[in-house]
Amino acid sequence: MKISIIGYSASGKSILAQDISQTYDIPLLHLDQVNHTENWQERDLDEAINIVENFMKQDDWVIDGNYNKLKKTERLALSDIIIFLNFNRFNCLARAIKRYFKYRGKTRESMADNCPEKLDFEFIKWILVDGRSKEKRDNYANMKKHYSHKWIQINNQEELTKFKKYLQRSNASL
């Protein structure tokens, strides 16, 4: 089973990926860990692409993150399931604030080493405006249309909670 989890920043992609990885014993790759090295430095693009390509050679995987430059077209094409977290911008901002206070001064498991949690003006602007541009929304709409046969869209916390409960059932299959 190959699963891609995409969606807006702070929508819960990494946590859902961890849940799926643990539930189904599937290898997990967080693209934030691939894109960044220590102290929020951007990894060399060729090296990052190589990491993703090698990971995708496995029979089963779950990958969370967007990153067009990191083989997005290939990832989505290879995926058996694409999960799109389509939470509204204010919900994502609230989640980012909550996450900041939970991990302030620490590095989350889904991040590269020594990348402490941050919540600055640029990230807030990304969550509320730049990451929601018409171009980005249209891109998601096109992906949904192209991959409708393997697309799962989760729009809010209630739907995410129901989906996670479904996953926890011992006989649940994706």
- Tokens linked to 172: 């649940």
134 falls within a domain:
yes
- Check: CB of residue 52 under 8 Å from CB of residue 66: no
Which domain range does residue 28 map to?
Answer: 2-168
**According to the model, what pLDDT value does residue 169 have?**
78
Q: How confident is residue 172, by pLDDT bands cut at 50, 70 and 90?
A: low
Q: What is the pLDDT of residues 116-133, one digit of tens each?
A: 898 999 999 999 999 999
Q: What is the pLDDT of residues 9-46, one digit of tens each?
A: 999 999 999 999 999 999 999 999 999 998 889 999 99
CA torsion sign for 31, 70, 87, 9 is positive
CA distance 146 to 137: 14
Residue 161 belongs to domain with CATH number: 3.40.50.300
163 falls within a domain:
yes
173 falls within a domain:
no
**According to the model, what pLDDT value does residue 111 have?**
84
Domain count, the chain: 1
174 falls within a domain:
no
55 falls within a domain:
yes
